[in-house]
Amino acid sequence: MLTPNRIYVIFIVFMVMCCVSQSFRLQTEESLTAVRGGIISVPCKVSVPAHAVYWYKHNFTGAPYAGASLVARDFFGFTDPLQGFERFSITKDYSLFIRNITVHDETTYSCLVEEIDWERGYTDLRVIATHRL
């Protein structure tokens, strides 16, 4: 049975969840250009601290969900290099940092942020196929 106190608690929880959800924002760059052999930081701007951040590299077509590979993850501030993706890491501000850029890095990347709701932002990375001078 719902007592007035329980209704009040349910209302408070609902209002807190709505307020937190509305204040959460994620922003990525629409597209970036990198130089082969160089480094790049692909931003994932989040308005509140995230529980977990996952960066995905999509297949060669750049299709958002086709053949995506997890390249970096951060869980409550802890990150491990993933096997086969040691050149990829996540910075303290949730950006994807890629070292020694190759032409195979040119595709769509997505930043998936775990908060109350899962949010995802996409960035298309273009790689210039010449070495930096």
Please give the Cα distance from 105 to 128 (Å, whole number). 10
Domains, the chain, ordered by start? 4-131 (2.60.40.10)
In this prediction, residues 26-33 reach a mean pLDDT of: 82
Q: 49-75 pLDDT, tens per residue?
A: 788 889 998 876 555 555 788 999 998
pTM over 0.75, yes/no: no
Please give the Cα distance from 106 to 101 (Å, whole number). 9
* Residue 81: per-residue pLDDT: 81
* Residue 60: per-residue pLDDT: 61
